[in-house]
Amino acid sequence: MKNLILGVIAKISKMDAEAKQLAAKVEAQSLLIGALLLTIGKNGGMNEMLENVRKAINAALDAADTPLKSDAEILLNEFNNLLLLTQLLETNDADIDIDALRSMPGEKTAE
């Protein structure tokens, strides 16, 4: 029984580490895409690019089966959220307030 419990704990630990790795990968990609959007926006080509992405996602929504349609809707929603975040970063102060990050409950910052 002890070995079974240790095996379960090891599986949970591995799944937790994989989930953290996936979350970090997604967040890093979001940061990269946000930086690219800010750069493209300053150079003037952002609207065309955004419309192309939206058209592609909407085409997938129109062609998708019911299970895939909900996934495409999630993708479109996340894409729009990323755009909103990018627009907020562009219109607000882009400097990071380290003291504010440190004061957030449950959040830890790397130093």
Residue 87: its pLDDT value, please?
73
- Smallest CA-to-CA distance from 72 within 86, 55, 50 is with 55
How far apart CA 78 and CA 27 sit, in angstroms, is: 12
Residue 33: its pLDDT value, please?
78
Task: HSE, CB side, 13 Å, CA atoms: give it for residue 37.
Answer: 23
Residue 92: its pLDDT value, please?
66
Q: What is the pLDDT along the chain (111 residues), one digit of tens a residue?
A: 788 888 888 888 888 888 888 888 888 887 777 777 777 767 667 777 778 788 888 888 887 676 677 777 888 888 888 778 777 766 766 566 667 767 766 555 444
Residue 109: its pLDDT value, please?
47
The string of DSSP letters for 35-77 reads HHHHHHHHHT-HHHHHHHHHHHHHHHHHH--HHHHHHHHHHHH
